[in-house]
Amino acid sequence: MMRLAALFMVTGFVAGCATVVPRNVVPERLADEAELAGMPNIRVWGDASAESFAALSMTKGSRGGSLVEARGLSERQSREINMLAISGGGDNGAFGAGLLVGWGEAGTRPAFDLVTGVSTGALTAPFAYLGRSRDPELKEAFTRYQRSDIYDPGLVTPLLGSGLVDSSPLEKLIARYVDDRFLRDIADERRRGRVLLIGTTNLDAQRPVLWDMGRIAMSGHPQALKLFRKILLASASIPGAFPPVRISVRAGDRTYEELHVDGGVTQQVFVSRPSLVVRDGDLARRRAVTHLYVIRNGKISPEWEAVDAGIFSISLRSISTLIKNQGIGDLYRIYAKAQIDGTDFNLAAIPSGFAATREKSFEQGYMQALYDEGYRSGFQGYPWMKAPPGIANKTNPPAFRRTTQALSLPN
């Protein structure tokens, strides 16, 4: 993806001659009220207020307004709430996939109450959300395919106007797995109170958007499956390389189009406010112990590389360094809030000693090696880091401060 971004810089001057299909842009004053026709309240701004997030938790058709109520937790009972956040990382997503499958086969992977995903993490998250029954498909998705199954490497055409390459192979790959049955399974889990959120970036607004995929699946709308697939594609569409995904919305009595791209543009990894999981004021809520697992599909330690003095090498290295440090910044923010809230923080990342390399993106050999690395770690018991790099790797406070009076992680 970084090589494509560098190529975009070289050929960008040609794009000025491109023909782009015009769209009716949502006016700024209507941005907050734009909704998808027939599917209200299926998304929220990633930087929205706590009240906006709380509204999503009250899902019509579920067995309760919140996860804890849906699971029947009483005042005398206590339980654990497990949250999983999966980052972007392109073909490095094979690490997270392997970690999850190995963890599942070890028999210690919990059923996650809240799962979030961005970019390649968005493609992993629905499988993790559905549990171990989908592990064979998760493995296949990150070990069977190669570059030509993600985008057409022979079609590098800035004259298309919106992207350098054709992302229709990835669109078809998503459709291969996300079918009507897949959607029904997602809906069933949402009715049980579990939450799946996928992040995209609204380019017009320069803001993250979080989509409640379970609510989309539950809607019964004839376009629900198509929208579900489009959101996954949008979250994985790096701008400049892949064309953005156009999503039609209604505001007032008019139809508009939004442009959505890779969620990693605004946040490499995110954790939603747990008001989506446990409603404020619930006595049982204060007895819940919360565990957060973050999978960073990349290395978080500096990596030495002798950089050529040419513009392409400098640009490529600078972009990759920027993305790495943006991701680490997201981890710091999430960790700080977890400490305030008494949440048990757990971080996994590609080991610094992993030495396999690839010449091009999405090489099968590289992805298989990375998947195997993740699988071994998950199966043998991954040594979860209790803090991001640069912070003393100590355990969280005893019992993680079992009261969750201030429980709300950043977006």
Q: What are the catalytic residues? A: 119, 262
Among residues 327, 319, 320, the alpha carbon closest in space to that of 300 is found at 327
Distance CA 114, CA 102 (A): 20
Sign for the pseudo-dihedral over CA of 173, 178, 181, 185: positive
Query: With b meaning 16 or more CB within 10 Å and e meaning fewer, what string describes 40-74?
Result: ebbbbbbebeeebbbebbebeebebbbbbbbbebe
Gap between the Cα atoms of 305 and 94, Å rounded: 23
Whole-number Å distance between alpha carbons of 33 and 254: 12
Beta carbons within 8 Å of 43's beta carbon, 6+ residues apart: 36, 209, 210, 211, 212
Round to the nearest angstrom and report the end-to-end CA distance of the chain: 25
* Three-state helix/strand/coil letters over 36-67: ECCECCCEEECCCCHHHHHHHHCCCCCCCCCH
Tell me the angle at which helices 224-235 and 120-130 cross, rounded to the nearest 10 degrees: 130
